[in-house]
Amino acid sequence: MIKLKLNVNGVPKTLVVDPEDSLAEVLRKQLLLTGVKVGCGQGQCGACSVILDGKLVRSCSTKMKRVADGACVTTIEGVGTPDNLHPIQESWMVHGGAQCGFCSPGFIVSTKALLDENPKPSREDVRDWFQKHRNACRCTGYKQLTDAVQDAAKVLRGEMRAADLRYKLPADGKVWGTNLPRPSAVAKVTGTCDYGADLGLKMPEGTLHLALVQAKVSHANIKGIDTSAAEKMPGVFKVVTHKDVKGKNRITGLITFPTNKGDGWDRPILCDEKVFQFGDAIAIVCADTEKQAKAAAEKVKVDLEPLPEYMSAPAAMAQDALEIHPGTPNVYYIQKIAKGGETKPVFDKAAVVVEDDFYVGRQPHMPIEPDVGCAYMNEQGQLVIHSKSIGLHLHLYMIAPGIGLEADKIVMVQNPAGGTFGYKFSPTMEALVGVAALATGRPVFLNYSWYQQQTYTGKRSPFFINLRFAADKSGKLLAMESDWSVDHGPYSEFGDLLTLRGAQFIGSGYDIASIRGEGRTVCTNHAWGSAFRAYGSPQSEFASEVLMDELAEKLGMDPLELRAKNCYRKGSTTPTGQDPEVYSLPEMIDLLRPKYKEALERAKKGSTAAVKRGAGVSLGVYGAGLDGPDSSEIFVELNEDDGVTVYACWEDHGQGADAGALGTAHEALRPLGLTPDRIRLVLNDTSKAPNSGPAGGSRSQVMTGNAIKAGCELLLASMRKSDKKSYRTYAEMVKEKIPTKISGKWTAPATNCDANGQGKPFCCYMYGLFLAEVAVETATGKTTVEKMTLVADIGSVNNRLVVDGQMYGGLAQGIGLALTEDYEDLKKHSTMTGAGFPYAKQIPDNMEVFYVESPRPDGPFGASGVGELPLTCPHAAVINAIHNACGVRITKLPALPEKVLAGLKAKGR
Ligand code: FES
Ligand code: FES
């Protein structure tokens, strides 16, 4: 131990510290400065950035033995407070810089260090600084952060007043469609927002810290688990194994498709007989400290009999492959599509036929905040589980039988989440912390390392697709034939639904009269398939959008004009035979056309022998909602002070659930003339809010938005006086015995798809046109995206700031998907940099988003869903742009430099 005197945020502190501990640990655990966030813990994300003696450092990789006695440390807490915001924090809020907000304290401290050194940085200086200091953001796409720095610098130079930056309520009081900062923004930019790991540090004495014993192989039989040595380790309270689990010890996959050959009970909470994938949890060590738990976890001995590891769909489909779940075939679900007449005669006679094979891989979600949760018993004898869940009621029913409790004995709460992007549509650690709390009778806390986040949470499921188009010589699509295999990892949850997405979205956006195809869900030993933004469409539409360009090439047609010829118009139907709810694609193409022509010109002029430039387009479509009659419920209550409280489980990945709920309620309650601060939100606690359904499939704005609208309208109706103009106060309602708290419900007018993939699964869709401009280095094959343009129709826009943030962030993830991101190699891809995380310089500063707002007949105030649209198909635009630049057609992602270089060499360029 060493004694140090430090000056922390201007306050002298005397500390006794372990010289091997990191500065981040000391600031967080000993000083409770939890504004210092720990993401990767490996010096790769910058979430832990602090200023140490005038220099920006990553505190997770700064050992205390390197911190000088008397050193000065500035953390986010020393930059500004909620009552006294620093201009950088103000600017971060108004530019939407804090989405999930987990990276925000690190970025803001980093910006402070930059502006202390350079008060007038150019945009490129800012981007260089963030790149050099490894400040990583997974939500925003970086553009807003650079905007925020520029405006903060102006305020600090005295060229602008902070007050000029602030959001001003419009004169008519209408906030719908404006840039109102999200309610959680102040807490996020000041580091006062307590994420799961922060809550963990503030748990009561006696809380046990958990460490998992995890499989280091991908497939094996378990012969025995010996916990005796671990139990004798210092600080260990108990080692929990499957024998301690009181219920079925399985998480149900809630299989709803009757033709699924599995039963859904295939995922163990703690492995008993088999290991199904790398990282599977075998035991939980519960100890007084995290260090003790981790040390003891190393001592648990697991006797394994190795089995063949099937690490891809083709491997698991081989004739001689073992059944991964004995009794259930590895191909456990088949989804067909049959629309219109037979395709064979059409293909036989068609003027043009194109065909190709496509692969979109295991894109990792890579939130900056690793998975985290805690559990305890409440005073009513219920088990309370806090996690990053984006499906609180869904998860409750998925884990209750496995844990061995009735559903009403479990309460699920969502912590502020530092990004999920869909991986939290699956339960991750909920059942583990639940089982540990029950087995020990103590509060428990579990925080994954970023390595565990990457290696032991679900990933995007790879699709292997063969696709054929038949067209006439004018380019009119006549028929499509598709075949797709979905590698869903070992656990079946939602695998059938994902396979259905192939039927719904391969070829979507185009009027194709005849379609035949078949998809299948395949059980493998690679990472389990979980939801990821745009779920199924990035795989499905990559195939059809790249093949559209191949068709255009064969026809000698411009790719945008080929899309214009075939896109939905009145009389068109979707691949599922549904009439689109709006027909905005022709207008969107008209808007994009001049920009596309300019991009082609720019590319031509900017190309040299060393750098080839090109432009490419793609079209993206996604449905908002779970399939069929999806529904949601909320409560709305008139408060004693005549404000209103909305209760909902509108879970927040970081996308802005609070802003979505507030904007919708405010619009619905406008007759009351309330300012937004008088509408309170009680979100994401199953003991307080009803089942609004999970936050997935871009359903929340449509389903829960409509439920909020319905509830608010009912409340207004009961408050309205006989003059039809004025409204009762709370006191008047109580006096007249009129209920002040009511429920709002809504069900989508939609029908499930049948066995042939035909139906009207979604009442609202989202439409997008992507334009990518790229530069390809011919010597290395390295591709840089120089500009992205998106024309989006997501209906009427609720909160412009939040929606812009979703668009830029989704585009950034699309660029990552196109060029770098993967989780295939269990070792190489286990870190952020190894898995191809895009930093500031990999994402263009030049991104433009245009909205065509076609009001949706079934959307609340005309709104459709939002978050999935920008990741439906931007990667295909990038790949099409690469072909436009240098003639290399990449069909299997990611387009790593070596693949592009091989293509260039094959073409003799
Ligand atoms: S760089 Fe320190 S937590 Fe990532
Ligand atoms: S706002 Fe940057 S990681 Fe979420």
Whether the Cβ atoms of residue 208 and residue 440 lie closer than 8 Å to each other: yes
Atom of ligand 1 nearest to the CA of 43: 1
Three-state DSSP at 8 gives: strand
CA of 56 to the centre of ligand 1 (A): 13
Whether the Cβ atoms of residue 858 and residue 630 lie closer than 8 Å to each other: no
In this prediction, residues 389-405 reach a mean pLDDT of 97
Ligand nearest to the CA of 44: 1
- Closest residue to atom 2 of ligand 2, CA basis: 137
In this prediction, residues 812-832 reach a mean pLDDT of 98
* Spatial separation of the C-alpha atoms in residues 510 and 528, rounded to whole Å: 32
In this prediction, residues 578-590 reach a mean pLDDT of 98
Strands 383-387 and 410-414: parallel
Ligand nearest to the CA of 450: 1
CA of 189 to the centre of ligand 1 (A): 17
To test the pocket of ligand 2, the residue of 140, 144, 193 to mutate (highest count of ligand atoms within 8 Å of its CB) is 140
Q: How many helices (H) and strands (E) does the chain have?
A: 25, 30
Instruction: Evaluate if residue 696 carries a pLDDT over 80.
Output: yes
- Closest residue to atom 1 of ligand 1, CA basis: 43
With a pLDDT cut of 90, the percent of the chain lying above it is 98
Three-state DSSP at 645 gives: strand
State both tokens at 27: 């600031």
To test the pocket of ligand 1, the residue of 22, 50, 58 to mutate (highest count of ligand atoms within 8 Å of its CB) is 58
Instruction: Evaluate if residue 255 carries a pLDDT over 90.
Output: no
The Cβ-side half-sphere exposure at 542, using a 13 Å CA radius, reads: 33
Atom of ligand 1 nearest to the CA of 37: 3
* Spatial separation of the C-alpha atoms in residues 880 and 560, rounded to whole Å: 11
Q: With a 6 A CB cut-off, is 60 part of the ligand 1 pocket?
A: yes
Q: With a 6 A CB cut-off, is 453 part of the ligand 1 pocket?
A: no
The per-residue pLDDT for range 38-60, each reduced to its tens digit, is: 999 999 999 999 999 999 999 99
Q: With a 6 A CB cut-off, is 47 part of the ligand 1 pocket?
A: yes
- Give the sheet arrangement for strand 847-851, strand by strand: 611-623, 765-777, 783-793, 847-851
Atom of ligand 2 nearest to the CA of 368: 3
Atom of ligand 1 nearest to the CA of 45: 4
CA of 648 to the centre of ligand 2 (A): 23
Ligand nearest to the CA of 46: 1
Which range is least confidently modeled, 244-258, 780-794, 829-843?
Answer: 244-258
Strands 274-275 and 267-268: unpaired
Nearest to 580 by CA among 569, 591, 565: 569
Alpha-carbon 442 to chain mean position:
32
- Give the sheet arrangement for strand 741-747, strand by strand: 679-683, 644-648, 631-638, 741-747
Instruction: Evaluate if residue 735 carries a pLDDT over 90.
Output: yes
Using pLDDT thresholds of 50, 70 and 90, give the confidence band for residue 364.
Answer: very high
Q: With a 6 A CB cut-off, is 136 part of the ligand 1 pocket?
A: no
Atom of ligand 2 nearest to the CA of 138: 3
Whether the Cβ atoms of residue 901 and residue 738 lie closer than 8 Å to each other: no
Ligand nearest to the CA of 140: 2
pLDDT confidence of residue 781: 97
To test the pocket of ligand 2, the residue of 37, 103, 195, 837 to mutate (highest count of ligand atoms within 8 Å of its CB) is 103
Torsion of CA 622, 540, 872, 505, to 10 degrees: -10
Instruction: Evaluate if residue 282 carries a pLDDT over 90.
Output: yes
The catalytic position among 77, 786, 821, 868 is 868
pLDDT confidence of residue 256: 76
- Closest residue to atom 4 of ligand 2, CA basis: 100
pLDDT confidence of residue 258: 82
Helices (H), 411-465: 430-440, 450-455
In this prediction, residues 732-758 reach a mean pLDDT of 97
To test the pocket of ligand 2, the residue of 37, 38, 92, 137 to mutate (highest count of ligand atoms within 8 Å of its CB) is 137
Nearest to 372 by CA among 687, 37, 31, 763: 37
Bond preceding residue 894 cis, omega within 30 of 0:
yes
Using a 6 Å CB cutoff, which residues line ligand 2? 98-103, 137-140, 368, 419, 654
pLDDT confidence of residue 5: 96
Is 379 noted as a catalytic residue in this protein? no
Using pLDDT thresholds of 50, 70 and 90, give the confidence band for residue 257.
Answer: confident
Atom of ligand 2 nearest to the CA of 99: 1
pLDDT confidence of residue 749: 97
Torsion of CA 680, 685, 691, 694, to 10 degrees: 100
Atom of ligand 1 nearest to the CA of 60: 2
Say which DSSP state 697 is in.
T
Instruction: Evaluate if residue 907 carries a pLDDT over 90.
Output: no
Instruction: Evaluate if residue 253 carries a pLDDT over 90.
Output: no
CA of 259 to the centre of ligand 2 (A): 40
Using pLDDT thresholds of 50, 70 and 90, give the confidence band for residue 335.
Answer: very high
pLDDT confidence of residue 259: 87
* CB atoms inside a 10 Å sphere around CB 118: 13
Atom of ligand 2 nearest to the CA of 419: 4
Q: With a 6 A CB cut-off, is 669 part of the ligand 1 pocket?
A: no
Q: With a 6 A CB cut-off, is 38 part of the ligand 1 pocket?
A: yes
Q: With a 6 A CB cut-off, is 833 part of the ligand 1 pocket?
A: no
With a pLDDT cut of 70, the percent of the chain lying above it is 100
Ligand nearest to the CA of 135: 1
pLDDT confidence of residue 83: 96
Buried b (16+ CB within 10 A) or exposed e, 180-203: bbbbbbbbbbbbbbbbbbbbbeee
Model pTM greater than 0.85?
A: yes
pLDDT confidence of residue 909: 73
Ligand nearest to the CA of 417: 2
Buried b (16+ CB within 10 A) or exposed e, 546-569: bbbbbbbbebebbbbebbbbbbbe
Alpha-carbon 833 to chain mean position:
19
Please list the residues that pair with 6 across neighbouring strands. Answer: 13
CA of 47 to the centre of ligand 1 (A): 5
* Spatial separation of the C-alpha atoms in residues 771 and 546, rounded to whole Å: 13
The per-residue pLDDT for range 479-531, each reduced to its tens digit, is: 999 999 999 999 999 999 999 999 999 999 999 999 999 999 999 999 999 99
CA of 74 to the centre of ligand 1 (A): 16
